[in-house]
Copies of this chain bind each other. A is one copy, B any other.
Amino acid sequence: MSYRSIIAGADSEQPDVAAATSAAAEAFAGYRATSPEARADFLDAVAAEIEAARAEIVEAAVAESHLPEGRISGEVGRTTGQLKMFAGVVRRGDHLGVRIDPALPDRTPLPRADIRQRQIPLGPVAVFGASNFPLAFSTAGGDTASALAAGCPVVVKGHPAHPLTGYLVAQAITRAVEKAGLHAGTFSFLLDTDVKGGIELGQTLVVDPRIRAVGFTGSRGGGLAIVAAAAARPEPIPVYAEMSSINPVVVLPGALEGDIDALATAYVGSLTLGSGQFCTNPGLLFLPRGEAGDTFLAAAGRATAEAVGGTMLTPGIAAAYEKGVEKLRATDGVTVVGEGAAGETDAPAPQIVEAARLAGVTDEVFGASGVVVRFDSVEDLLPSLESLEGQLTATVHATDADNEAAAQVVSALELKAGRILFNGWPTGVEVGHAMVHGGPFPATSDSRTTSVGSLAIERFQRPVAYQDVPAALLPEPVRDDNPWHLARRIDGELQLP
């Protein structure tokens, strides 16, 4: 099967950026005016079209990503679930953030005008999908779903690691656009399978004046290049880049009083899941010095030795992994704790190393490589945590006996990570209302947001106030009769519909 770009509903041999963004700009006025029900129905329809094409999408994604069918099949469900969640968000309408301060004509010394606020969409959004989640963080992934939910047309830059998957998903979205009777420019998909051409395509897209915001999931280098390009525009735009994280795990002494073997096996399981190709892969683990810690490390080494590398997403990612491992092993004070077996082509061996010190071992190695650093006490540990860069997640293993230390650890980790979890593993990001998949730089380029979960919609909006606007001209969300049954803040007080 052949694949190509889809621009405003039509297949195109050329990934013509201006054609896609012009169509998106044209589509914006109509799309942002859709009713909550119409927009939510459209999101549900996108989910249904993806579900209808599930078999061929799964086949393509498995072939292109080398990820197992079970995982890819689950990711389809996650992708459609995400779209349906945002349909629910749109129907509820809380993201419109309505605030009404009624007029006070008799106030002295000056009367107060009638002032009403709502959030409006920013305009056309460019989305760069990730190689490691060809569905849930790609063409119809969280960035696309939340931007469409906010009322923004979307132009996706297809990922060269899964071009057919992207194209098939783009076709599904295009069918939903057509059936919903929306302007064809509401969604476009631009593809250049040449890596260098793809990078140029992405740069052109980010600096196009019609693009008003960017969602990106990928490498630190790629993300920073997009951030720089967006900041250098005559009119800068927000970039939500999810880039780099080593997801520190802190094991406190109490956690080593239970089943150490099970804990070590679970650690290695999370580290090697999907060949370690998760943004939330636990790349750094802080372990108490002493006998119990030694036992854990030995068990983790044994579990790693039993692991076999899986084929990575691309040969480039496999090569970068091997280079990262090499650099790590050449670092002073680093010793190998356990090494698994290499698998087929481009399936390098998983590994765990112990590092005598934190300095020099905190660069992300994308893949199944774990670094263990030991600590003597929480006083010893805290400066290490405080020295870390921003992270997507931070994990603590502890029991109630550790509470005093754990409280200090949580307080330090809050300033470093978007999500703190206890007695679990960070791989696995729940799509829900309370999730944060974000965090301080360089985990993301904008710590004030999340790229997973319903809060993600707020990235693509801005507030507008209406002062003394005649009733006949007020937008529905701020009208007195509240036709959309929204929760609204009246004079500062939240009122349910």
Contacts and interface: CB of A to CB of B under 8 A. Distances in A.
Interface stretch (A140-148, A197-205, A242-250, A416-424): A416-424
A410 to B, nearest CB: 6
A159 interface: no
Contacts of A472: 400, 403
B421 A467 contact: yes
B473 A410 contact: yes
A470 interface: yes
A435 B473 contact: no
Query: How many copies of this kind of chain does the complex include?
Result: 2
Contact of A465 (B418, B445, B463): B418
A447 B472 CA distance: 26
Nearest to A464: B414
B435 A461 contact: no
A492 interface: yes
Contacts of A418: 462-465
Contacts of A349: none
B424 A467 contact: yes
Interface in A444-495: 445-450, 454-455, 461-470, 472-473, 487, 489, 491-494
Nearest to A389: B235
Contacts of A387: none
A384 to B, nearest CB: 17
A424 B94 CA distance: 30
Contact of A469 (B238, B421, B447, B464): B421
A388 B403 CA distance: 57
Interface string A397-423: 010100100110011001101111111
29 contacts: A92-B492, A94-B494, A101-B432, A116-B434, A117-B433, A117-B434, A120-B415, A231-B231, A235-B389, A235-B442, A238-B448, A398-B470, A403-B472, A406-B470, A417-B464, A418-B462, A418-B463, A419-B465, A420-B464, A420-B466, A421-B466, A421-B468, A422-B467, A433-B489, A433-B491, A436-B464, A448-B461, A448-B463, A455-B463
